[in-house]
Amino acid sequence: MPHHLEPITLEVETPVTYKSWLHTTRDYHLVGIIAFSAPEAHIACEWDDIEFIRRRTDEFSIIGFPEFLSAMVLDLRDLPFLLDADAPVFPWRMMEEECPIRVLVSKAQLAHYSSVFEPAWLGWDLDSCIAEIRSLLDRKIQ
């Protein structure tokens, strides 16, 4: 008699979606940009939302393109809910290797996130965040 197997999924049920991009610096460092969004009606953050964000940032940080990312920008501007300090959204590999990470937030979200994340990590303009990361990576090499 064969053993009974029950199909399951590893996906989490959440309306949160993401888009991702790569930026290559002149020294060929890879900067990953990952933007999360959710419907405006989804105003309460749930466990599945945080888990989805955590999984996507971790996956993005360890995919070889063929090199790993040297830095990351997490864009939270299009999330209608706010994350708290306990939300594990930063990729473990990048934290351990002290890679530059920036969090893009809207100006309306800035007051909240200034008390949640390191204020130096916050930004509200993607081009400024990339320029700052490029400067940090240039100094790291020299």
Q: pLDDT tens across 54-101, in order?
A: 999 999 999 888 889 999 999 999 999 999 988 999 999 999 999 999
Query: What is the rounded radius of gyration, in angstroms, for the C-alpha atoms of the chain?
Result: 17
- For the chain, list the domains and their CATH numbers: 17-141 (3.30.750.24)
The pLDDT of residue 27? 87
Q: What is the pLDDT of residues 30-61, one digit of tens each?
A: 999 999 999 999 999 999 999 999 999 999 99
Distance CA(93)–CA(135), nearest Å, equals 21
pLDDT in tens, 124-139: 999 999 999 999 998 8
Structure tokens at 69: 């990312």
User: Has residue 141 got a pLDDT over 70?
Assistant: no
Where do we find the tokens 């990729």? 91
Angle of CA points 95, 79, 114, to nearest 5°: 55
User: Is residue 142's pLDDT more than 80?
Assistant: no
E strands, the chain, in order: 17-24, 30-37, 71-78, 101-104, 122-123
